[in-house]
Structure 1
Amino acid sequence: MKLILSLLTGLFLFFQGGDLETLRNAYSKANSSNEGAKNFIEIADKKSSSDPIITGYKAAADILEAKVTTEKNKRKSFVKSGATSLESVIKANPNNVELRLIRMSVQENIPKIVGYNKNLKEDKTFILSNYSKQNSALKTYVRKFAMQSKTMTAAEKNSLK
């Protein structure tokens, strides 16, 4: 019985990890074009999980929806609902590097006039100080993000080994 339970748990975790990798890959391409954004939004919309990281990506998808929507009067509501959701999940999980990375990337790329950019320095400091404690997959993802980040300096980017 324990063996069966262990196998089922292993399979579940394996497929959950695949979901996360799919989200990460789509998110890393989301800001490069409207098609990339639409693809990420579509993938995120299909995910239903109570996992805080997936919730964070779903919140980022809501915010990105404002970029690709043709209904100008809905842009503000997409940003507001996504930002509220992202802040809520970060408040519940303040020590999660990936959630901080999501917020930092959103705040770097959202127009300054929106006013959602107050956590850039805080998130950068948190990511840099907790980077060494992360698993190798997340370290690779953080490094990839850092290389294109507007907030991180060259020295900070080089410190992520």
Structure 2
Amino acid sequence: MKLILSLFAGLFFFFQSSDLEVLRNAYSKANSSNEGAKNFIEVADNKSSSDPIIIGYKAAAEILEAKVTTEKNKRKSFVKSGASSLESVIKANPSNVELRLIRMSVQENIPKIVGYSKNLKEDKTYILSNYTKQNAALKVYIKKFAMQSKTMTATEKNSLK
């Protein structure tokens, strides 16, 4: 019985992490083009989970939808709803580095006129101070993000090993 339960748990975590990898890969390409953004939105829409990180990516997809929508009057509602969802999941999971990374990347890339950029310094500090505590896959992901980040300095980027 314990063996079956262990196998089931292992399979669950395997598929959960592969879902996360698919989301991470799609998200890292989302800002490069409208096609990348649309692909990420589609990937995120197809995920259903109560995992806070997946909820965070879904919120980021909703915000990104404002960039690719042709209906200009819906842009504000996409940003407002997505930002509200992202803030809610971060409030419930304040020590989750990946959620902070998602918010930081959204706030870096959203037009300043939207006014959603108040957490950049806070998130950067939190990510840098908790970087060493993360698993290897997340460290690689954080470092990849940091290398293209507009908020992190060259010194801060070099501190990520």
Normalization by structure 1: what TM-score? Answer: 1.00
Per-residue Cα deviation, 1:80-128 (whole angstroms, up to 9, x for no partner)? 0000000000000000000000000000000000000000000000000
User: Residue 63 of structure 2 aligns with which residue?
Assistant: 63
1:53 offset after TM fit, Å?
0.1
Identical amino acids, percent of aligned pairs: 88
Name the SS for the 1:30 alignment partner. Answer: coil
User: Residue 108 of structure 2 aligns with which residue?
Assistant: 108
1:54 offset after TM fit, Å?
0.1
User: Residue 150 of structure 1 aligns with which residue?
Assistant: 150
User: Residue 132 of structure 1 aligns with which residue?
Assistant: 132
Structure 2 gaps, min length 5: none
Displacement over 3 Å in runs of 4+: none
- Which residue identity is paired with 1:89? V
Does residue 95 (structure 1) correspond to residue 95 (structure 2)? The answer is yes
User: Residue 77 of structure 1 aligns with which residue?
Assistant: 77
Name the SS for the 1:23 alignment partner. Answer: helix
Give the total of aligned pairs.
161
User: Residue 121 of structure 2 aligns with which residue?
Assistant: 121
1:38 offset after TM fit, Å?
0.2
1:26 offset after TM fit, Å?
0.2
Counterpart CA distance in 2 for 1:62 and 1:19 is 18
Name the SS for the 1:70 alignment partner. Answer: coil
Per-residue Cα deviation, 1:44-103 (whole angstroms, up to 9, x for no partner)? 000000000000000000000000000000000000000000000000000000000000
Name the SS for the 2:29 alignment partner. Answer: helix
Name the SS for the 1:31 alignment partner. Answer: coil
User: Residue 34 of structure 1 aligns with which residue?
Assistant: 34
Over aligned residue pairs, what C-alpha RMSD do you find?
Answer: 0.3
Name the SS for the 1:49 alignment partner. Answer: coil
